[in-house]
Structure 1
Amino acid sequence: MPKIRPVSDLRNNFTDISRIIHEESEPIFLTKNGYGDMVVMSIEAYEKLQFENEIYFKLKEAKLQAKSTDIRYSHEEVFGDLRKKLQDKVDIDDI
């Protein structure tokens, strides 16, 4: 269940709000005059959200790209190519 607090709690009860967002890893929704105004979350929760969004958009892009072509690669082809590229990079870096 979302935590909803008045924005004045950010000033008056900052320590309590900070403790809640870190212990529960959930955002707190702040209201101003009874209406939603902002969301406060920990940096860890924000970074996790950003990471999940990045994955979502990459998967969406891959899905659109897959619709635009009939070319498909097997697991062996993809990972074989990656291994070769990594090996080439290691060989170049050793020089």
Structure 2
Amino acid sequence: MYLHLAEDVMIRSDDIIAIMDERSLNSSIINEAYLQALEKATVNLAKGSFKSAVITQNAVYLSPFSPGILFKRAIGLFPAGFLTEHFTGKPV
């Protein structure tokens, strides 16, 4: 399955490590180091400031969509209850 990030850009949902908002992304030294390591592989899809960063093993995508919107889109890519169970550890 694929997740639409912006314009004509879609990535495989299996490749997603994290979806973070700008504040969370910039609040950690580890995140900053990861961003620096992938600086050349950062794809800015936002026409201005970004609302979310979609992190994969090989790239960071800066999206104009909020993490909430991307999460709602991602929900449709998984079986019912999968994401809730995955993040909370409790079956739905």
What's the TM-score, normalizing by structure 2? 0.26
Greater C-alpha radius of gyration: 1
More strand by share: 2
The structure showing larger relative contact order (alpha-carbon pairs under 8 Å, at least 6 residues apart) is 2
More helix by share: 1
